[in-house]
Amino acid sequence: MRNAFVLTLFVLTACPGPTCPAGFVGTPGATPTGSIVFTDGTDPTLRPLTSGQMVPLEPPPQGGYVMYVAAKVLHMDACVEVSGKLRDPATSNQVGFDARTTTLIRSSDGSGVPDGTNNANLSNLNGCPDYTTRDIHNQDYLVEVDIKDRSGRTLHLSDHITPRCNLSNPALQADCICTCSANYFLGKCGLADGGI
């Protein structure tokens, strides 16, 4: 009886997080693998990232501009933290970081991916406002995506990208380029935003 109580207590306390509808993705014991994916923030389709890929900078509700990045993975638990980092390849300085917990869903090929229908499930990788001395918009950067599951498995991926303002609204586009250019300060883009 006592052993059963201890076992129950252990099971209860050893469950560190929410239940994962997708359970485990892939083969337990196999080395985690994966690839970086991104969206444009409006179309939920997760697109594979190729080296040097242009990744759109999108406006969140309050201010700044972010990129939506994540990973498509195998051999990991579905309860993960996905983190995105943006680095200047010349200095290795980090210019953006966003991490969040999410639950992966199974894609048609059996791999695990975040649900792209909601941007909150992907890393909202920030880089703007750009307080550095180098433009974010239209320059070469390194993106790093780290996935950590609830059992401690980790996966690290990185590649070159080109963050780019690519918005159809001219006022938003002007604000994006201004906000994502070097040496930003509060009020710098005030005349360009057109009341967004």
Partner 1 sequence: MMTIKMPSTKNLGTHLAALTASCFLLTFLLTGCQPETVTQLAVPPATQGFQLHVPAFDVASGDEVQACYFFAVPGNPTEEVWVNRYEMAQAIGSHHMNVFRVNTIKNLTGVPGGPPVVSKNGMGECFVSSNWSDWPLVTNSQQDSLTDWKLPATVAAKFHGGELLMLQTHFVNASTQKTPKKAEVSVNFWTTPPQPNELGTLFATNQNIRICPGDTNASFTKTCNFTKDAVHVVAANGHFHSRGKLFEMFSTAANGDVGTKFYTSTSWDDPPMMRDFTDDLPAGGGVQWKCTFDFPTGACGDPNNACCYTFGGKVETQEHCNAFVYYWPKAQPADVNCF
Task: Name the site residues for partner 1 (rule: CB under 8 A).
Answer: 16-19, 60-64, 66, 81, 83, 85, 87, 91-101, 118-121, 124, 126, 128-129, 131-132, 185-191, 193, 195-196
Q: Which of 17, 48 has the CB closer to partner 1?
A: 17
If the CB atoms of residues 30 and 90 are measured against partner 1, the closer one turns out to be: 90
- Quote the tokens at residue 63: 């201010």
**Token digits of residue 64:** 């700044």
- Give the shortest CB-22-to-partner 1 separation in angstroms: 13
Shortest CB 134 distance to partner 1, Å: 12
Name beta bridge partners: 96: 86
CB 68 within 8 A of CB 58: yes
Which residue carries 């991104």 as its tokens? 38
CB of 1 to partner 1, least distance (A): 29
Q: Smallest distance from the beta carbon of 3 to partner 1, in angstroms? A: 27
Nearer to partner 1 (CB atom), residue 161 or residue 189 = 189
Nearer to partner 1, 23 or 30 (CB): 23
Would you say 111 or 179 has its CB closer to partner 1?
Answer: 179
Burial of 142 (0-12, 13-18, 19+ CB in 10 A): middle
**CA distance linking residue 120 with residue 127, whole number of Å:** 17
CB count within 10 Å of CB 46 equals 21
Burial 160-170 (b: 16+ CB within 10 A, else e): ebebbbebeee
Q: How far is the CB of 27 from partner 1 (least distance, A)?
A: 26
How is residue 87 written in tokens?
A: 């680095």
